[in-house]
Amino acid sequence: MGAFWQRFSRNRQAVLGLGIIAVIIVMAATAQLFFPGDPFGLAGKSMSPPGMNGFLLGSDSLGRDVAAGIAHGAKTSLMIGLIATLVAVLVGVIMGALAGYYGGLIDDLLMRTTEMFQTIPSFVFAILLVAIMKPSIESVVIAIAVVSWPAVARLVRGEFLSYRNREFVQACHTVGMSDIRIMLAEILPNCLSPIIVIGSLMVATAILIESGLAFLGLGDPNVMSWGFQIGAGRTLLRSAWWVCTFPGVAILLTVLAINLVGEGLNDALNPRLRERSS
């Protein structure tokens, strides 16, 4: 663990990303403290520019506080990004592991499925799913997970496929070890690094998809989110640029930070680089 942190912290960009994420998490956790009450509620004079009338980042046409929206929206973005990714990784790992390890029919099925998912424009599919299920946190999470798991499955399948015939796995067969055990105790620990990396990058993608859905009006109507803020503010582009701008900066910083951390993880966990150093 110490060695891992040493490798990770050598990448300054990754540490910066981690710092930004920490700030955003703190912001999400303390939203209720600094901006108590409903972020949808009227907080003062409408259309105030940043710094005026007590609004740090201005207010919109209904007098809602942009800064409050960003703080409360952070919670939504992070939560949806994390949960959707967890679901997608779980499903993807199970499917990918079975397909890669057993090959044959399961593998054919999975490959055709992921091919189909590669063919379907995934964002359009997510839109459809949310539209059909009615917009809510759950439907957004499900939609993002549904369009994200095939990427994990493909990756895990590839890993399992290459490990399946590795000699140490065959050695396990020669002592009669069960398939489940070989998969969970022997192969899976060796695939954890790429799974962690793809998972961290997927959180970023999930946040982007969520904001896109909310921008199109497909977010949960009862939950504040960055995409919703921008979507609601686009009609004010001429008169109140700040309503759209700041939530966008929030998305940009969050996604950027997660990507930086993901790349840092990739460098720190990359088995190829490490084998050379040992």
Give the binding site for another protein (CB under 8 A).
Answer: 112, 115-116, 118-129, 131-134, 166-168, 170-177, 186, 189-190, 204, 208, 211-212, 215-218, 227, 230-231, 234, 237-238, 241, 244-245, 248, 251-252, 255-256, 259-260, 271, 275, 278
Q: How far is the CB of 32 from another protein (least distance, A)?
A: 26
Nearer to another protein, 62 or 171 (CB): 171
Q: How far is the CB of 36 from another protein (least distance, A)?
A: 28
CA distances to 43, 50, 216, 230, 264 from 59, rounded to whole Å, are 8, 8, 21, 12, 37
**Three-class DSSP labels, 149-170:** HHHHHHHHHHHHHHHHCCHHHH
Q: How far is the CB of 104 from another protein (least distance, A)?
A: 12
Buried b (16+ CB within 10 A) or exposed e, 167-183: eebeebeeeeeeeeebb
Query: Packing angle between helix 188-215 and helix 241-269, nearest 10 degrees?
Result: 170
Q: Is there a contact between 44 and 53 (Cβ–Cβ < 8 Å)?
A: yes
CA 68 from centroid of its chain's CA atoms: 23
